[in-house]
Chains A and B, each alone.
Chain A
Amino acid sequence: MTFDEWLRVDRLPHIYCAGCGNGTVINCTLSAVDQMGWKKEEIVFVSGIGCSSRAPGYIVTDSLHTTHGRAIAFATGIKMANPDLKVVVFTGDGDLAAIGGNHFIHGCRRNIDLTVICMNNMIYGMTGGQGSPTTPRGALSTTTPYGSSEAAFDLCGLAAAAGANYVARYTSYHVKELTLAIRTGLGNPGFSFIEALVQCPTNYGRRNKLRQVSDQIEYFKSHAILAQKAERMREEGKKIPDDMIIIGELARRNRPALGVRK
C-alpha cells in the first residue's frame, strides 16, 4: 500500500506540529484499514474537535468532522442507519473523556459496532495546552501551573467496565502492536476501543521535561508494561508504580453488538 492512495494529498501540508504523535496513529490506522481489504467507499471516519480530530480531513474516504465531544453520538446515527458502513472514530483525550465522556460510556454500553481510536496526548493540544482528564497528577499545563491535583482517567478501564467488546492500549513507540490492535478492533463486532498514547511536544512535552520527541518516545518505551506481566506482578504481590503504562489487549469478548446487519 502507499499512503498517497489513502490521503488527500491536495490538502498537504497538514496542520500538525513537527514531531506530533498523531501522524503515527494515522499511519497505523491506514495500514490496518488497508490490511482489512475494505473498499474506500464503505468506510466513514468521524471525529470531534481537537488536533486528533483533524485526522479524517486528510483521508480520502467520506468523513464527518463534528462538534467537540460528540463524535460517537454522530457515528452511532451513521452506523444504525446504514450498518453496511465501516465507521471509525478518531478522538482526543479531552474530546472523548471530558466533554464527550457520556457518549463514550454509552457507546461502550450499547456495544455499538464502531472502532474508536483515541490519540491520548494527556493535554488539550489544539487550544494550547490546558489540563485534560488524562493529565497525570502533578503534570504541568496552562491551567495546572502548579501541577495537576486531580487523578487521571484510565480510559481503557472505563471502556472495559462500560462494556466494550475490544479494548487495547499502546503508544506511538509500539507501531506494530498498535497497527495489529487497530486491525483486531476493526474486525471485531461491537465497540472496539484503542487508546494510543502519543507525544505532544508543543503543549505537553515542552512543559513536562520531555521537550525532545525522542525523550517522550523513550519515556513510553521505558514505562510500558505488558498487561500479562502486570497481572503476574500483581499476583506475586508486587506493586506496579503509578507512572507505568499498562499496554496490550485489555478486554476481548463477544457481548451482543448493536448496529450489525442481522
Chain B
Amino acid sequence: MSRIDFMQGNTACAEGALAAGCRFFGGYPITPSTEIAEHMAAKLPKVGGVFIQMEDEIAGIASVIGASWTGARAMTATSGPGFSLMMENIGFAVMTETPCVVVNIQRGGPSTGQPTMAAQGDMLQCRFGSHGDYSIIALSPASVQEMYDLTAEAFNLADRFRIPVFVMADEIIGHMRERLMIPDSVHRGERKLLGKGNLPYQADDDLVPGFPVFGKGYGVHVTGLTHDERGYPCATSPSVHECLVKRLVDKVESARDSIASCDIVNPDARVVFISYGAPSRAVEQVLHDIHNDNVGHLRLKLVWPFAESLLSRFSNAETFIVPELNMGQMAREIKRHTNRRVIPVPKLGGALHDPFDLAALVEELL
C-alpha cells in the first residue's frame, strides 16, 4: 500500500534514492544539501548500505565512482562550491562510463555566494562543467513529490546510459515541506552486464557497453585515458578518440526525444512559459489566476539533454517566456532552437518570481 507522508524535499530525495536501491553515499556537508547526507547516514546502515563522510567533495564523488564499480547504486549530494570541486571526477565518470547520481541543491553563486538562498545558476555547469565534449542527463524537480520520484528515476537513467545523472534541485525545493505519496515500490531498471565474449568497451546497438562489475572475474582495466574497446589506453590515435567521444555524446543525445519528460498545459497557446524547478510554482500560479487558453506552459522535468522537439508541440506559440533563478541559462539554449520570440525572465538573489509580475508580462503580450 502506498502511503501519504509530509516531509522536506531533501528528505524525500534521500527516501527516493533508498527506494531505488541506492546503497552507497559518499559526500561532504554543504548547505543547503546537508539533510540528504544526514538522512542517508541514519538510514543506509539499516538497509545494509554504506554511508561515508569523505574529506572533501573531490573524494566524495571519487568514492561514489569506486562504489559503482562494485555494482552498487551510489550517489552524492552537494551545492555550488562542492559541485565545482567535483568537476574533474565527473568527467572521469563520463569517460569510464560509470553510473552515478549527483544531487545539486543549488544556492546563489559565484563562490560562497548565498548559502541559504535558492538559485539555478549551475544549469550550464552540470551540462558543460568538466573539460572535453560529452553529454549527461539532468533532472529538475519542482515539488517534494518530484524530489522523491525524480531521484529514484535518476538511478535508472544512470544505469541505462552509464553516465552521471544530475538531480538539479534548488534550496526552495530542497527545504520546503509538502505532502507526498510514497509508492509501495518504485520501478527499478537493471544495469546491463557485460555479455560473454564482448570486449569491455564494445557498445551494443544502444551505444552503451555492458557493465563488467569488479570482483566477478572480468579482469577489466578502467581508465580515464582515451581507450579502445578492450579498455586499453590508446591516447594518440585520432580515430579511436573521435569514435569514443562521439559515442559518449551520441548515446545520450540520440535518446533525447525518447527520454524527454515534461508537463504540457494549453499546447495551442500563443504565449508559452517554459520553466523547470522552483519557478514552475510561480508559473502554475499565473496560469491558475488568469485562466486563459492562450497562455501555455512547458514544464521540463528532464532538462538535459534539451529536447527541442518539445517546442514544436506549441504550434501557435508566438512567444516563449522563460523564468529562471539565473541570468538566462536555459533561455539561451531555447533560443538556439526556435525562431520565435524568447523572453528570459532572470531572477537573482534567492526569492522566487512574483506571479503578479509574470502575469503583468503576459497581459502585455496578449
Contact = CB atoms under 8 A, between A and B. Distances in A.
Interface of A: 8, 11, 40-42, 44, 46, 56-57, 60-67, 70, 73-82, 84-85, 102-103, 106
Contacts of B23: 81
A168 B164 CA distance: 38
B89 A70 contact: yes
Given A57-B232, A62-B218, A106-B59, A81 B224 contact: no
A76 B66 contact: yes
Q: Interface residue tally of chain B, by bracket?
A: 35 or more
A155 to B, nearest CB: 18
Q: Is chain A's binding surface mostly helix, strand, loop or mixed?
A: helix
A80 B50 contact: yes
Interface in B210-260: 212, 214-225, 232-233
A103 B61 CA distance: 13
A81 B72 contact: yes
Contacts of B14: none
B58 interface: yes
Contacts of A85: 70, 214-215
B65 to A, nearest CB: 6
Given A56-B221, A77-B63, A103-B59, A44 B50 contact: no
Given A77-B66, A81-B74, A70 B223 contact: no
B59 A70 contact: yes
Nearest to A40: B219
Interface string B52-72: 101110110011111111111
B63 A73 contact: yes
Nearest to B223: A65
B63 A63 contact: no
25 contacts: A41-B216, A44-B214, A56-B221, A62-B69, A62-B220, A64-B96, A64-B223, A65-B225, A66-B89, A67-B89, A67-B92, A73-B58, A73-B59, A73-B66, A74-B62, A74-B65, A74-B66, A77-B26, A77-B68, A80-B26, A81-B23, A81-B24, A81-B67, A81-B70, A84-B215
A11 B232 contact: yes
B255 to A, nearest CB: 27
B88 interface: yes
B62 A80 contact: no
Contacts of A63: 220-222
A92 B74 CA distance: 28
Contacts of A42: 215
A40 B216 CA distance: 10
Contact of B215 (A62, A64, A66): A62
A78 B66 contact: yes
A92 to B, nearest CB: 16
